[in-house]
Amino acid sequence: MNKNNPLPSAENGQKQKTTFSGNIGYILAVAGSAVGLGNIWRFPYLAAKYGGGIFLLVYLILMMTFGYAMIVSETAIGRMTGKSPVGAFSSFGSKKWLKCGGWINAVIPMLILPYYSVIGGWVVKYCWEYLRGQADALAGDEFFGGFISNSLVSEICFVVFVLAAFFVIVAGVKNGIEAVSKIIMPALVVLAIITAIYSVTRPGALAGVKYFLVPNFKDFSIMTVVAAMGQMFYSLSLAMGILITYGSYLKKDSDIEKNTTRVEWFDTGIAILAGLMIIPAVFAFTGGDIKTLKAGPSLMFITLPKVFDSMGFGNLIGSVFFIMVLFAALTSAISLFETCTATISEELRMNRTFSSVIVLAVSLLLGTASVFGYGIWSFVEIFGMQILDFFDFLTNSLMMPISAFFICILVIKVIGFDGIAEEVKRSSKFNRQPMYYVVTKYIAPFFLMIILASSIASTLGLITI
Ligand code: PHE
């Protein structure tokens, strides 16, 4: 980027780049990034743990205010500069903190991709086993533990998953990401609706639906807000350079406000459907025992297979469910892969294919460490965490709030609210501009520091989240 031109025009930035062919392609790709394991596995478990209906209500309010403001900032920064995070930040000057802000946004996806793909590999394994008719075996207590501690089998599943993402990236933005998202996302919606209907119509499931949808203010605590906020960042893929990168591929005439609204509701819709798939089914299975729902990571891989097995048609419903999860995880992994590839090819001036090979190599290396962390390297502990959990903690609890903070400061101090508004208004109305202003300036920086402090405190065992 031309150093004398700190506010680059889009034409400068976008000239040599591939873009999405149209609005729908862009929306599906961003929605594909947003909808992932976070919606299907993490959201229902957190909702169950932090008060059911009241968690949902808090989440919706945060999503429409905070989430909206962050998506708009990132997309506008991306489209304004035509660059992925490092280039985007440094096109506003050469100050150290701008470099720092860009790089932290760029490094996060490189750290998430490997361990996200390890979990993607677990999903590959479950799809395979359900399709082979192994519902009974999957429902056994030992299956999951036995599988992840078998480093060879887990490694093969992980490699299959990363390679799938890699091939889509090599195919490019339009022919790869957009084409795959256009097929996968509608299929995912159909599968989610079928599974949710099946789940809420089980005998005894209605109590679960009520717990999940009806807010009860007695269940509210400050941790409801902290947990909902962390989940919202993760679920909308915020503060990880992804929306900056995808924004840089966005055409100047695409309506940022409308697209943002569509994406946030799509993401939340899938999370609600996932809640309706999982919470009522587990309620029906356990007779309303909320403790089972709080199982966390094991909920999807240990409890749900038992629930499916007990429902009848276990193999069919298990296959449908895990294929859906696989689609969701794959499109999210693709967005992570793309952001890393774009950063490397822009910053090191390499061609796309070569950059994606570097990302593949780093992912294989770090991901293998995470795989081995549950198997042959299970003696390794970092701050009391296994390798995979450590990467998750490092990125989501420590780096993400810092990176979001940098984005807010970039908007407040350098670009200015008028700069963002001008970019948004090139192609659309900016109805929520006053709200955007208040949230970005006063609420976001404060809340981000609270998330950071609470996650550090909970790791040190000072509070329990
Ligand atoms: N948003 C994705 C989900 O809900 C996860 C994700 C996080 C994807 C970070 C990309 C980057 O699962």
DSSP three-state, residue 355: helix
Task: Tell whether ligand 1 has an atom less than 6 A from the beta carbon of residue 38.
Answer: yes
Q: What is the pLDDT of residue 9?
A: 37
The residue to which tokens 């056994």 are assigned: 140
Four-residue CA torsion sign, 15, 337, 100, 38: positive
H/E element holding 17?
Answer: none
Neighbours of 16 (CB within 10 A): 7
Ligand 1 atom index nearest CA of 35: 4
Task: Tell whether ligand 1 has an atom less than 6 A from the beta carbon of residue 234.
Answer: yes
Dist. CA 36 → ligand 1 center (Å)? 6
Fold exhibited by the domain 11-459: Hydantoin permease (1.10.4160)
Q: What is the pLDDT of residue 191?
A: 83
Q: Report domain extents, the chain.
A: 11-459
Of the candidates 344, 360, 343, the residue with the CA atom closest to the CA atom of residue 113: 360
First to last CA, the chain: 44
This prediction's pTM: 0.86
Task: Tell whether ligand 1 has an atom less than 6 A from the beta carbon of residue 335.
Answer: yes
Q: What is the pLDDT of residue 463?
A: 67
Q: What is the pLDDT of residue 367?
A: 96
Q: What is the pLDDT of residue 461?
A: 73
Dist. CA 161 → ligand 1 center (Å)? 15
Q: Where are the alpha helices (DSSP H) in 50-150?
A: 53-62, 68-81, 85-90, 96-131, 135-138, 143-148
DSSP three-state, residue 51: coil
Dist. CA 283 → ligand 1 center (Å)? 27
Dist. CA 231 → ligand 1 center (Å)? 10
Task: Tell whether ligand 1 has an atom less than 6 A from the beta carbon of residue 240.
Answer: yes
Give per-residue burial for 310-337: e unless 16+ CB within 10 Å, then b: ebeebbebbbbbbbbbbbbbbbbbbbbb
Ligand 1 atom index nearest CA of 328: 12
**Residue 328 corresponds to which tokens in the numbers above?**
């969701």
Per-residue pLDDT tens listing for the chain (465 residues): 333 333 333 333 433 456 677 677 778 888 888 999 999 888 998 898 888 999 999 999 999 999 999 999 999 999 999 998 999 999 998 899 999 999 999 999 999 999 999 999 999 999 999 999 999 999 998 899 999 999 999 999 999 999 999 988 888 777 778 888 888 888 888 888 888 888 898 888 899 999 999 999 998 888 788 888 888 988 998 998 889 998 998 888 889 998 888 889 999 999 999 999 888 888 888 887 777 777 666 778 888 898 888 877 889 989 988 998 998 899 899 989 988 998 999 888 899 899 999 999 999 999 999 999 988 898 888 877 888 888 888 888 789 889 999 999 999 999 999 999 999 999 888 989 999 999 999 989 888 888 888 878 877 777 665
